[in-house]
Amino acid sequence: MSEALSRYQSRRHQLAGASLSVGSTLEIAGELLRRSGTLDTEGVKPALLALSHAQLETWLKGLNPGDLRATLLRAAEEAIEVALGDGGEEAELWRASAMEGLGARDRAASALRALREWEGLHGELQGEAAQLKAHFLQALGNIDTALLPRARWFIPLNPYRREERDLLDETERNRAWWFSARAHCDDLVAAWMAPSAARSPHLESCSECREDLEEATAVDHPPGHHLSEDDLWRFDMGTLSGSERARVDAHAGKCAECAQALLALDEGDAAIEEALGQEVGTSGARTSRASLSPRPGARHPEQREVLEERREFRVLLVRDRQRVRLLVSPLEGRTLTAAVFLTPGKPSLKPIPGPEGLTFELGDSTGGLRSAHLSVKAGTVTLERDFSF
């Protein structure tokens, strides 16, 4: 018996318990309904009949889709860590936490499936409850629209995603993109790690994988006699002078290869903005050294500190064992540029774009307290500050 199947069967036995919350009852009932070909749905109807209209409305009022969006973005970064790691216990921690993030999206789908079943028994929701349900459905649709085109982030989890996908009823599988989209594109990760290796039959036949590889090649290896890697990096950072930007634009207007490289950068930025753009920011500026709370239930090996938070962006200091990095995350759909200087007068660190924003690798934390300077620009808002790590 698979680990996933055993877990669902165990949760089925909880459905008869009197101590379950409304949300847990809906999630478990929906999990069974969406896997009726494999799991026994006995107990689902009595559990749903026991839920009142008032209980459903209270549950709907407590939902926060923004939390789910943040959970999926964190899962994407953790999945990338699985691909970059060397295996072992740490990779298993990343894998478990990332799958828990995908499971959160699946539980939302299960709760809505059970809610439809509840309406079949009690009648459709009316008034404020119906409006709350419609708002939640719209929010989930926005999340899916933003992240489905970036399902490649979750490819390193494919063996576990396929196991979850295959337990779903056939009518549910394609809807559950978090388990099914790009579920057979395992070879893409190997191609990222060894670009010069021969392409597998899957990579040759999969249009999505070919497109991903072409975009990566255009950015990582631009034509040497055209725009250089430094040109592309400075374009992405927004540090080109007016004359340099004019030269880049003029060249890209005549050169299809370099135009493709610039387009790949723009599309990467747009994906991050789209995924993060609906996150609700706080009004005014705020600074905090308090640690961010990890996602409930996640075994995340990181510690995160908020160094700065504005309406337009958030700056986090991330510690993972002996590794330290700075993460600058855009908020409210903002486009930003950032630079980190470890030594005055020296070149800034090269940012690494990711699902949550721009990451700067600061090195290990075993050499004593060090300081650096951060520069961030988001629209008309700028930040210049020193920080220690």
Q: What is the pLDDT of residues 99-155, one digit of tens each?
A: 999 999 999 999 999 999 999 999 999 999 999 999 999 999 999 998 898 899 999
Sequence ranges of the domains in the chain: 3-180, 184-219, 222-276, 302-388
Q: Is residue 387 left, alpha or beta, with left meaning phi > 0 and alpha meaning psi from -120 to 50?
A: beta
Tell me what the mean pLDDT of segment 351-360 comes to. 84
Ranking 191-200, 228-237, 250-259, 294-303 by mean pLDDT, the lowest is 294-303
Ranking 124-133, 252-261, 379-388 by mean pLDDT, the lowest is 252-261
Q: Which residues pair with 309 in a beta bridge?
A: 286, 314
Is residue 172 predicted with pLDDT exceeding 90?
A: yes
Q: Retrieve residue 247's tokens.
A: 């030269």
Q: Retrieve residue 47's tokens.
A: 């559990």
Pairwise CA distance, residues 118 & 25, whole Å: 11
pLDDT higher for 311 or 131? 131
Ranking 6-15, 86-95, 102-111, 217-226 by mean pLDDT, the lowest is 217-226
Are 188 and 207 a contacting pair, CB within 8 Å?
Answer: no
Tell me what the mean pLDDT of segment 315-326 comes to. 82
Pairwise CA distance, residues 95 & 109, whole Å: 21
Pairwise CA distance, residues 215 & 220, whole Å: 9
Pairwise CA distance, residues 58 & 72, whole Å: 25
Q: Which is nearest to 279 in space by CA: 386, 357, 186?
A: 357
Pairwise CA distance, residues 350 & 341, whole Å: 10
Are 294 and 302 a contacting pair, CB within 8 Å?
Answer: yes
Is residue 307 predicted with pLDDT exceeding 70?
A: yes
Q: Retrieve residue 119's tokens.
A: 């309406």
Pairwise CA distance, residues 319 & 313, whole Å: 20
Cβ partners under 8 Å of residue 203, min gap 6: 187, 188, 191, 209, 210, 213
